[in-house]
Amino acid sequence: MKNRERVLWGIGSSRALRAHWALIELGLEYRSEPIGSRTGATKTDAYTILNPRQKIPVLQDGDLILSESAAIVAYLAERYGDPGRPLMPENITDRAHYFEWQSFICMELDATSLYVLRRHEYLPETYGDAPAAVAGAKDYFTRMIGAASNAFDDDRPFLLGDAFSGVDILMSTIIDWALRYGLAIPVPFLAYQDRVAARPSHAAARRANQSP
């Protein structure tokens, strides 16, 4: 018999918020399993079968089990987006830019910058104290987000133009994360963040991402 369950594991992190937000933006029903990072809940045998890398978020959609927040957002966008709620452009050139932004956000702003700060400034007891890496990551973030803000030179409201999409979910969680770390954000991105965060789906996702 086909499994029709839709479940999201993970709350309390920027990466988990992305998945909640995409589900809510698309109007999809789902059950939330509110497990947090660094609580031991990702290390149980049952969870390790779901995600051997022991990370949140994980989405189960019927028979599909998917980890990696950007992949979850892109999957939901492709599977459930419609002309009223696209989240992923149809046009091949616009999709190329979607994946360009996705790589940039996940690699340059997340993994190479904010996650370095997370590990070496905020969790030094686990990942090691590395002040030079922290300083370098802050500079790098500032340079990358500054260069990216040129996208708004043509007054577009969202990263891909007039339509809100999955990469706006990714970018907004990055800006929020950077602001919590006290990093300077260019003015066009602050205005963008206000615009994106004003969506009702954003407030609902933030609630869903909190402990019940």
List interacting residues with ligand GSH (CB under 6 A).
13, 15, 37-38, 42, 54-57, 68-70
Closer to ligand GSH by CB, 74 or 160: give it. 74
Closer to ligand GSH by CB, 35 or 185: give it. 35
Helices (H), 59-184: 69-80, 92-103, 115-117, 124-127, 131-148, 166-180
Least distance from C-beta 70 to ligand GSH, angstroms? 6
Q: What angle do CA 212, 176, 36 make, to 5 degrees?
A: 35
Least distance from C-beta 122 to ligand GSH, angstroms? 12
Least distance from C-beta 110 to ligand GSH, angstroms? 7
Least distance from C-beta 36 to ligand GSH, angstroms? 8
Residues 108 and 118: their CA atoms lie apart, in Å, by 14
Least distance from C-beta 15 to ligand GSH, angstroms? 4
Least distance from C-beta 37 to ligand GSH, angstroms? 3
Closer to ligand GSH by CB, 26 or 72: give it. 72
172: how many CB neighbours lie within 10 A of its CB?
25
Asked if residue 58 lies in contact with residue 10, where contact means CB atoms within 8 angstroms, the answer is yes
Closer to ligand GSH by CB, 11 or 24: give it. 11
Query: Smallest Cα–Cα separation from 11: which of 1, 26, 21?
Result: 21
Closer to ligand GSH by CB, 25 or 110: give it. 110
Is the Cα dihedral 18, 24, 25, 29 positive or negative? positive
The b-or-e profile of 6-36 (16+ CB within 10 A means b, else e) is: bebbbbbbbbbbbbbbbbbbbeeebebbbbe
Closer to ligand GSH by CB, 70 or 87: give it. 70
Going by C-beta distance under 8 Å and a sequence separation of 6 or more, which residues neighbour residue 191?
152
